[in-house]
Amino acid sequence: MTVSKSEQVRIGNIRIGGQAPIVLIAGPCVIEGWKQTCAVAQKLKKIAAAAEMPFIFKASYDKANRTSLTSFRGPGYEQGLEILARIRRQLDIPVLSDVHRFEEIEAAAEVLDVLQIPAFLCRQTDFVIEVARTGKAVNIKKGQFLAPDDVGFIIEKVTSTGNRRLLITERGATFGYHNLVVDMRSLVIMRQFGFPVVFDATHSVQLPGAGGGASGGERLFVAPLARAAAAVGVDALFLEVHEQPDNALCDGPNSLRLAQVPRLLQVIKQIDRITRSG
């Protein structure tokens, strides 16, 4: 299939969209500490470089939407942003994290290259507009409760501020209870709005709330869905990875094992090259 054109978003030296090759956005679900987070970032940078794939590091400083009150949320925005700033500076890579509260926006914009709006907040008009007003690149997770056509209204809110540095991410749609499915048509529909589309291959295999006080997941489907999305023609691939997913403090069941990333990127790169030449 021919990949429809989109506006190109620049993040440092990285170009996302247009006819630029696919970009990797990856990292652990949540910051578990400086040493662990930095180690994953270093390894991912090397893996992405070997695959000749532009790379943006992601990690959440506060998972404010955890299922249980007692679930691990991360170090909080002050300490978490300090860690992300050190990683950005020492490894010379762009960083992405999600913001949940108005009080975080200004501080987050000083550190992050991409501000991410979580799926559950994607329809919060005032919040979306305030994040967009920073002028930073904004990645909006399409809510699992939204149809792909509804993304047009979110885009209208962001661009009303004059900010066109916008990415839209598909992360699966609610299908009954404790289950998500991905309709690959949504990727095509959302790209027709003219902005880069990202596919979140790991949250798309999440089983929300299926773990009792936590979410479950089916990581065996991460690679097949990522390959399918690359064939459709997405602009970036979003992965949550961990060296030992079964021991991860957040979203372990749907996180990809770090050791599996190199082979997956090789395949994704090949599919992306074929898709863009079609």
Q: How far apart are the C-alpha atoms of 257 and 51, rounded to whole Å?
A: 17
CA 82, chain centre distance (Å):
20
Model-wide pTM > 0.85 = yes
Select 9-277's CATH number: 3.30.200.20, 3.90.1520.10, 3.20.20.70, 3.30.70.20.
3.20.20.70
Expressed in percent and rounded to 5, the helix, strand and coil fractions of the chain are 40, 20, 40
CA 160, chain centre distance (Å):
23
Q: What string of pLDDT tens digits covers the 278 residues of the chain?
A: 445 667 899 999 999 999 999 999 999 999 999 999 999 999 999 999 999 999 999 999 998 887 778 788 999 999 999 999 999 999 999 999 999 999 999 999 999 999 999 999 999 999 999 999 999 999 999 999 999 999 999 999 999 999 999 999 999 999 999 999 999 999 999 999 999 999 999 999 998 876 666 678 899 999 999 999 999 999 999 999 999 999 999 889 999 999 999 999 999 999 999 998 87
- In the chain, what is the straight-line distance between the N-terminal and C-terminal CA atoms, in Å? 6
Residue 201 and residue 222 in contact, taking contact as beta carbons nearer than 8 Å: yes
Q: How far apart are the C-alpha atoms of 221 and 61, rounded to whole Å?
A: 26
Q: Which residue, chain included where needed, has tokens 């790209």?
A: 191
Q: How far apart are the C-alpha atoms of 177 and 147, rounded to whole Å?
A: 17
Name which of 90, 89, 107 is nearest 99 in CA terms. Answer: 107
pLDDT of residue 3: 54
**Which whole-number Å values give the CA distances from 245 to 199, 205, 276, in the listed order?**
20, 14, 33
Q: Report H helices in the chain.
A: 34-50, 77-91, 102-111, 125-132, 151-159, 185-191, 222-232, 261-277
**174 burial level (CB within 10 Å; 0-12, 13-18, 19+):** middle
pLDDT in tens, 208-249: 876 666 678 899 999 999 999 999 999 999 999 999 999 999
250: tokens are 């957040």
Encoded amino acid at 127, one letter: F
Residue 173 and residue 182 in contact, taking contact as beta carbons nearer than 8 Å: yes
